[in-house]
Structure 1
């Protein structure tokens, strides 16, 4: 019989946990090392402000195949975010008002222009490397360059800027146009489906209801509070040495690392990182922003948009509480522009919409300042798209997984799960016994 392998997995987020579960199913032995005191990685369901809130990844959809399979596997249920009957958006120095449907109409034509080419470049959206040279050639300018110079009003351009400031969770001035085109391909080239997949449906019991069950299905050791300092690949058939903080080591036939690009500088990889990863480590992704939860007085279904220069790009109602308050979720492009946990600071940002929103509490986790992530969800700068969608995850005896490197929903939980499956398969079928 083929000799089964001993695998060390760095990171107990969705990618690491799924790869561990799948490798064990294939007969291999796994040890999972997690730097935090919890599993889940950039998904983290926590009790805040009187409600269960997602501090990281939140939204799911039945057209995201990998997370939907896990939802069915573990019997989870989904619920829709509210449709907003009040909308406020900023154009220059003026605040416009209407409904969510009004905002959708303003977005439609400009977004269709941004999505142009999605069918040709991404005929198979989960295999974006099939036309890598064409995609790389088209990865020029920025996402907003695709609508500049066209027949669009200042109002349309302002809302598009706000939309993608939130979507890229970073500056639209450096955002690769290819991510938006790829998202369109993953959404049947329709804005309405894109919105449904990225900001509409969430889990009733939170992401923890799934990632905790995956962790429970892993028979191998999941070691929390375990920080990795070095990963040394000895070469073909020679295995890998993993050195932990404090100097202790583990030997493995192969290693799967799910460390986000933003945190890779803290780990020494020898003989070195693959070129496409090292480039992004040196440059950083475009995701310099934040996610914030804001509690306000009243029960209103409110949506707000504000473009570059405003701390919060998008905010919308998510939950109503019995005490007469509501909780809204927001996103911005610069995590240094606002104190996520300061009511006065957030109130000042919210006042820009003149929406009569009184902030009574606020919270968020600064993932960019988190030493174990150094980023939010991975979004590419111009010229980085192909680097973030590699056809192969394995390099020697080290496999690079995680949502940063998904073929499909890169930067979403669905993409993280995808790479967990791919990493397990590449080790099982390609690594020499």
Structure 2
């Protein structure tokens, strides 16, 4: 595998007797799709707008040279697609640390306790938020099953569609819960949805619950507990090393042309590259950078125009001393969730990871901005350094992970599963399983999308199915 930065010449790969597929993007979806296609004897060309591979998974040296994840971080053996890759490439995992002290803001007051106290307080709220998940998602990796199954009762179908409306915390605003409890749930889901809980589709939280055996403790373990010893870089570079195709970096695709039997892409310098099919792995937030000919469908265009609920950020903060803490604050605060991740004994410091719902509410690289954000807990955290990547402001992502707004679970992402032409989409944003939030969904779609194209190119009569 090579990664030249120069723009290639137009045309197909040298062996014109074999089908050719262009993959747009070299994140996990693009890399796994390319590997699957190559294994089926298809020539692949990969174009990546960034100067690196990995997409929204990016292991980078920050805060004094420490290898930190700017994007995707946690993995788990109950995430089937990423765990297969971890096993395939001999990667190892290790846990995030246990926490000694918890702080949370509720009804304007800072509360203190243990992490267990926080978990107990949150569990009852999560059970209410997850209500209906067993009925709605009997098959978690087929999230629209109840709509497609003709035996689904009309009442259940109507409840499912209704559950995609409103905000994720609406179920708590019925007089049964205190403002402290609502604020606690708001802290959790402002971080989880990476955006306002008022506009966050309630169905997405229920779907995450179904992928976690409907248990909040397991959902936390899957999404916040285990990291890769060699970082995400160890995994995405391992996948890339299995490819024969060149990965052309610093090369943006600005147009995709597609019909029932062929496709082509136009690069930023005007070069046209023809192929039998195109796989676009660009996040929803960056699809506006590409012109599609013919245009996307109405439902797809609406999702691209409206964007997802992902307007937030991830920040790494180094503080003085050994501080084993977790902290939560409702979404009006810059940081909604903060927890210790690395204890630096040689520096007498701790690196914490934080998440918030509004990327404009904090300067990720400014110590004073981070200090002001953590001071809300009055926990004596002295910020030494901080850093992160603003994915929402990044032209090639336009968002963090893709969480869905009210109405988008039913009407948005599924429209990108269309197979009417030789244009296909892959990426965590379009996954049926772990949609948006973790690498597992990206790998899922890379594999399934590639298998669909292989079927098209080897059995042409079925390609319109």
The whole-number CA distance in structure 1 between the counterparts of 2:94 and 2:125 is 29
The whole-number CA distance in structure 2 between the counterparts of 1:11 and 1:176 is 28
Q: What TM-score, normalized by structure 2, do the two folds share?
A: 0.90
CA contact (8 A) 2:416 2:425 kept: no
Offset of 1:151 from its aligned partner?
A: 1.8
Of 79, 88, 101 in structure 2, the residue corresponding to residue 64 of structure 1 is 79
> Residue in 2 aligned with 1:45?
59
Q: Please state if 1:18 is matched with 2:61.
A: no
3-state SS in 1 of match to 2:316: strand
CA RMSD of superposed structures (Å): 1.3
Name which of structure 1's ranges 315-324 and 85-94 shifts more when overlaid on structure 2.
85-94
> Residue in 2 aligned with 1:331?
355
CA contact (8 A) 2:47 2:249 kept: yes
Offset of 1:395 from its aligned partner?
A: 3.9
CA contact (8 A) 2:371 2:383 kept: yes
3-state SS in 2 of match to 1:273: coil
The whole-number CA distance in structure 2 between the counterparts of 1:422 and 1:124 is 17
Equivalence map 1:27-426=2 (5 Å): 27-49=41-63, 50-132=65-147, 134=158, 135-233=160-258, 235-237=259-261, 239-321=262-344, 322-386=346-410, 387-389=412-414, 392-411=417-436, 412-426=438-452
Offset of 1:390 from its aligned partner?
A: 5.2
The whole-number CA distance in structure 2 between the counterparts of 1:397 and 1:156 is 49
The whole-number CA distance in structure 2 between the counterparts of 1:274 and 1:363 is 39
Q: 5+ residue gaps in structure 1?
A: none
Offset of 1:93 from its aligned partner?
A: 2.3
Runs of 4+, deviation exceeding 4 Å: none
The whole-number CA distance in structure 1 between the counterparts of 2:367 and 2:266 is 42
3-state SS in 2 of match to 1:207: helix
3-state SS in 2 of match to 1:419: helix
CA contact (8 A) 1:393 1:422 kept: no
The whole-number CA distance in structure 2 between the counterparts of 1:61 and 1:94 is 35
Offset of 1:106 from its aligned partner?
A: 0.6
Deviation string for 1:338-368 (max 9, x for gaps)?
Answer: 1010000110111000000000000010000
The whole-number CA distance in structure 2 between the counterparts of 1:202 and 1:150 is 39
Offset of 1:56 from its aligned partner?
A: 0.4
Q: 5+ residue gaps in structure 2?
A: 1-16, 148-156, 461-465
CA contact (8 A) 2:341 2:353 kept: yes
Q: How many residues of Structure 1 are paired with residues of Structure 2 in the alignment? A: 429
The whole-number CA distance in structure 1 between the counterparts of 2:237 and 2:119 is 36
Name which of structure 1's ranges 337-346 and 142-151 shifts more when overlaid on structure 2.
142-151
Deviation string for 1:170-199 (max 9, x for gaps)?
Answer: 011110001100000000000000000111
3-state SS in 2 of match to 1:188: coil
